[in-house]
Chains A and B, each alone.
Chain A
């Protein structure tokens, strides 16, 4: 079974520029997550979708970050404008069941963003 696909793998941008990340979850997975992982820290959840609806986005900096999951499959995460502190690895994950159930998450390799 194919895993979670993310692109690009690496991105370097200047502060105040915009950037977008793309995620294709495992086929049939209802729940999709975006995490931010700063170097030396654990992943921090930014947003959680069930199909194309938002379940939780309480930790998403909505003044600059946005995410969507049109048609309940692929998802994009956008940062506009980027700040230096946004430098991190952005991880996408998916799980086969809805967020009301306990299950593991399957992670992609992540996109490493460097803001200079």
Chain B
């Protein structure tokens, strides 16, 4: 069935490096995507979103790239800090009967070594 998934379950980086977290989606009709960060013991927290009419969107230290041709998303974190250690999820809003259902992938655990 159609799903949102992630390529790598765990990513380890050194503090100061740039991190890239990837996500594949299979629903070609999806037109809105969100990246969430989930720290241990907390609920997911919004990082950045992107609509399908865009290829790139930048925030503070984060950039999301969308490649609709291959149905791929990536989250780039510049100058990764220990506080960035968390699980990162991409989510898509799937249309269903006139409403959107936020659907999450499995997640990637980012570990930042000082």
Contact = CB atoms under 8 A, between A and B. Distances in A.
The majority secondary structure among interface residues of chain A is loop
A77 interface: no
Interface residues of B, number: 26
A21 interface: no
Interface string B75-114: 0000000000000010101001111111111110000000
A25 interface: no
Centre residue among A4, A50, A107 by max chain B CB count within 10 A: A107
Interface of B: 31-32, 34, 41-46, 49, 51, 89, 91, 93, 96-107
Given A42-B106, A102-B100, A107-B43, 16 more contacts: A42-B89, A42-B105, A44-B104, A45-B102, A48-B101, A56-B97, A56-B101, A99-B100, A99-B101, A101-B100, A102-B93, A104-B49, A105-B44, A106-B46, A109-B41, A109-B43
